[in-house]
Amino acid sequence: LFKGTFPLFVKHIIGPFTAFFCYDFMIDKLSVLWRTTNMPVLPLVLFAATCGTYLGAAFTYPFAVSVREMVDLWPKKGTDPFNGNYRKASIYLWFHQSILSFYPGFFKRYFWHIAPQWFFTILLAEKLGFFKYWRIDIFSGAGDNSNEDSFV
């Protein structure tokens, strides 16, 4: 039933999760710039969304595209080194000496197709309040990222 779904799972589940996680992490670290200074929030949100989108795409490209090509296209050129198994191809890719060799066509074939939707999804989630803290007390961490949270 799930045979051949590994690249789709990585592209549509792990990729956005990584992008959202990186965005949330960066917003938490950069929030001190608008909590304690007069810096506007929008440039920091755009910077964090761009970085999160790029990191999500850079993490998932080898597993969503390169592994699929290794399993589906390499056997047509000769022997099948992975026997049609995405797990074996992913292990080979992960433990290979240079993972950078599995990034050909990153921007042309992958990044510009998924980056706009991930970027605007992050901005929409920010606008809807998905990244706002709902509990404000001394034990909950950053609070709601207002300047009152900087002073304990």
3-state helix/strand/coil string of 43-56: HHHHHHHHHHHHHH
As a whole-number percent, the residues of the chain with pLDDT over 90 amount to 31
Instruction: Say what the pTM is.
Output: 0.79
Cβ atoms of 149 and 140 within 8 Å: the answer is: no
Neighbours of 67 (CB within 10 A): 25
Q: Is the pLDDT of residue 77 over 80?
A: no
pLDDT bin (cut points 50, 70, 90) of residue 18 is: very high
Q: Is the pLDDT of residue 92 over 90?
A: no
The pLDDT assigned to 146 comes to 59
Average pLDDT over residues 32-44: 85
pLDDT bin (cut points 50, 70, 90) of residue 53 is: very high
